[in-house]
Amino acid sequence: MSTARIVVTGIGASSPLGGTAPESWSALLNGESGTRTLEHDWVEQYSLPVTFAAEAKVRPEEVLERPIAKRLDPSSQFALIAAKEAWADAGAPDVAPERLGVDFATGIGGVWTLLDAWDTLREKGPRRVLPMTVPMLMANGPAAAIEMEFGARGGARTYLSACASSTESLAEAYRHVANGEADIVIAGGAEAALHPLPLAAFASMQALSRRNDSPETASRPYDVTRDGFVLGDGAAALILESKEHAEARGATIYAEVAGSGITSDAFHITAPDPEGSAAARAVLQALEHADASIEDVVHVNAHATSTPVGDVAEYHAMRRVFGDHLDDVVVSATKASTGHLLGGAGAIEAVFTVLALHNRVAPPTINLHDQDPEIVMDVAREPRPLPDGDLLAVSNSFGFGGHNAVVAFRSV
């Protein structure tokens, strides 16, 4: 692989905290929660046991022109909104189409389109099924929408590794730029699975919090009273290019993508390896690629879904990696504010990690009142200043199927 340094020059997001990356970051630092009671008729219609979620604060139909929106599944709508913001933030770079790539992710894909089409088929017959159904439901829809919007002909790839998906997309985007396969890559992930079926299914497997009476406090990573995650939707995108390329065009540089690691547990389809050995290897791979030591890491944006088992397993992985140095690492668990965006989670958390380095402040973890005594870490409960000098931060993502993906970022 080339020794070129790969940097982030643009960011975009549509999240439960805000319609843009700056709005989402500001709300995160303010300790806001993006979780709210769902105001949809189908919640009562299906007697859902969980009546809240972290819906994107700005719905995509409020942003996109109607002719565009109606031809895209909500997952692709979110992806396009985030990518357009990131592209503009990067200065709308002038790049040859053949040198522009897309690496984008989703965990579930066009579930709204699929299930709406099934309802139409059952209730109205096959002639009423929309001809755009397949292009809208296919999992590569978000990547395709971005590719066509920007005329990217350097490859448009889709990653589907459950909740590790968009961190994998960043890892692969890093590799594609470093290998000289593209000058610029639009990377990230999107999810729009706030549909009654996924909500019912996640609730059935006891994965979701049941705090219907207090949704804004439902996601509480590391707290002894945590009882599951909060389902969220939205998207985030990052523009990656070589440092040399960015400097040549006078771009603003947020942070360097220093390295990445991808491993698998081969343990269980939903449960993480309680020892965290493969997750730990992913972190160590990222640090090795970054030519960094464990002592260089000052901040971790943890996967931290707020499940009783998952939070402890990730802690064991991090303690396995960092040993005593973990006590000197500031940990943020931002899903407490955003909920869990599934295939989009790694992307929004990467944006937050980049902004933490850029602004030298670790974001707070809300709803943590009584930290689990099994999890001995320095978890930021208020915005925490990060030190001066060269900083290294890590963003963790772990998904069903035993997928582990980690990206390391360095301050610039």
Where do runs of H (alpha helix) occur along 90-207? 111-124, 133-137, 141-150, 165-178, 196-204
340 is catalytic: yes
Per the structure block, which two tokens stand in for 390? 């060269």
Neighbours of 167 (CB within 10 A): 36
Task: Using the structure block, give the residue that is written with the tokens 């960094």.
Answer: 292
Q: Which of 63, 45, 64, 42 is nearest to 53 (CA)?
A: 42
Give the bridge partners for 53, in sequence order.
36
Sign of CA dihedral 190, 194, 199, 200: negative
Q: How far apart are CA 405 and CA 399, in angstroms?
A: 9
Q: Which residue in 303, 316, 358, 403 is the catalytic one?
A: 303
Q: Which residue in 163, 195, 316, 358 is the catalytic one?
A: 163
Q: For residue 19, which phi and psi values (nearest 5 degrees)? A: -85, -10
Q: How far apart are CA 203 and CA 201, in angstroms?
A: 5
Q: Which residue in 195, 245, 316, 340 is the catalytic one?
A: 340
303 is catalytic: yes
Q: How far apart are CA 171 and CA 185, in angstroms?
A: 11
Q: How far apart are CA 332 and CA 329, in angstroms?
A: 10
Q: How far apart are CA 155 and CA 157, in angstroms?
A: 6
Query: Do residues 56 and 13 touch, judged by C-beta distance below 8 A?
Result: no
- The residue type of 242 is S
Query: Do residues 29 and 364 touch, judged by C-beta distance below 8 A?
Result: yes
The secondary structure of 331-395 as a DSSP string is: EE-THHHH-B-GGGHHHHHHHHHHHHHHHTEEPP-TT-SSB-TT---EE-SS-EEPPSSS-EEEE
289 is catalytic: no
Rounded to 5°, angle at Cα 340 from 22 and 394:
65
Enzyme catalytic residues: 163, 303, 340
